[in-house]
Amino acid sequence: MEYPKFSIKHKSLMSKHLKQEIFDKMKGLYSKNNFGLQNIINSGVINPDSDIGVYVGDEESYELFADLLNPIINEYHKFSDSSFHKTNMNFDELKIDNPDPQNKYILSTRIRVGRNLKNFPLGPAISKQQRLVIENIVSTALTSLKGELKGKYFSIKGMKKEDREYLILNHFLFKEGDKHQQAAGLNRDWPSGRGIYHNKNKTFLVWINEEDQLRIISMQKGASIGSVFKRLVVAVNSLESKMDFSFSDHLGYITSCPTNLGTAMRASVHIKLPKLAKNQNLFTKITEDNNLQIRGINGEHSQSEDCIFDISNKRRLGVTEVQCVKEMYNGVVALINAEEQIKINL
């Protein structure tokens, strides 16, 4: 194994922090799941446009390859090696109003968390058989949900093509094909072991065996952020009583991508901002000041359409779930205020 040849196009945190001496120290190390340095960095080496550049195959690797992973984690989350992660999902402590009661800007709200089962490898290192075992464990646990959360599980492997395309088009279902996940080994054995659970109104969904073993999602049209968060909390608490999730006092909930550590929460809105779309400097400043991330409407690595953006919290580690949602809310309020104040004839 040779040190990667990084070009000027490589801008990831991995390419920044993987020094020759760190590479030489870790290149012969492997976790109990036979996950090594090459597996961790492969996606970022192959894809120069990667922002982070690493995917992790198991909890052990976060310790084994800490010399590379800790600087990436600390820079992204503004965290430190000596810090501990605190969790708080008490929705009564989220004191916010609807930031867009007239529905002028926000089309929809979506809050999700990632979870992985304890004592199983993460997605990049998992076997086909282990993935099927997880599908069975999770889908069985989901059948116990009641009330608004009650729904049905659908395996992608057995899903009709037209049903699958409809769910993808309406942002309910994940799909194969992301080149960064492909290079990390996350698309192996597709679509075996993958599926989606959703309630009747499709305001609550669970993805099984996408990037993480569970993506638990609460969503609805409009800007009722508090209601979306409360639904998510109720669901997560119910599922956590039936499954043992991988958690560390230092890193929080363990995930395959270091950006999702900690709360593993992404609180987001789809918001239309035609004036800010023409004022990128101000747009970027507001999002950076509020620790927000800008994406296109079709998820990571996608582009905006019709001046609609996916805006979410960026920090997930070292902040609580309530803080994540509040940061997103504060940033969205700032964006709406700026949009209303800009004087541009569109």
Marked catalytic residue, from 60, 164, 300, 307: 300
Marked catalytic residue, from 135, 211, 321, 339: 211
* SS3 readout for 103-157: CCCEEEEEEEEEECECCCCCHHHCCHHHHHHHHHHHHHHHCCCCHHHCEEEEECC
Marked catalytic residue, from 110, 115, 131, 266: 266
Marked catalytic residue, from 110, 135, 255, 257: 257
CA 13/CA 330 separation, integer angstroms: 27
Q: How many helices (H) and strands (E) does the chain have?
A: 12, 10
| DSSP 8-state symbol, 58 | S
Burial code (b: 16+ CB inside 10 Å, e: under 16) for 76-85 equals bbebeeeeeb
Is there a catalytic annotation at residue 295? yes
166: CB partners within 8 A, 6+ apart: none
| DSSP 8-state symbol, 217 | E
Is there a catalytic annotation at residue 266? yes
Distances (CA, A) of 60 to 20, 32, 118, 125, 274: 23, 8, 12, 12, 45
Is there a catalytic annotation at residue 215? yes
Is there a catalytic annotation at residue 307? no
For the residues of 237-284, what is the DSSP string, one character each? HHHHTTS-B-EETTTEE--SSGGG-BT-EEEEEEEE-HHHHT-HHHHH
Marked catalytic residue, from 109, 203, 255, 259: 259
Is there a catalytic annotation at residue 257? yes
Is there a catalytic annotation at residue 112? yes
Cα 326 from chain centroid?
Answer: 17
Marked catalytic residue, from 59, 109, 112, 255: 112
CA 185/CA 170 separation, integer angstroms: 26
Order of strands across the sheet with 265-272? 151-155, 195-199, 204-208, 214-221, 106-115, 265-272, 308-313, 292-295
Marked catalytic residue, from 110, 115, 131, 215: 215
Marked catalytic residue, from 110, 194, 231, 295: 295
Length of the chain in residues, anyone?
346
Is there a catalytic annotation at residue 211? yes
Q: Which residues are catalytic?
A: 112, 211, 215, 257, 259, 266, 295, 300
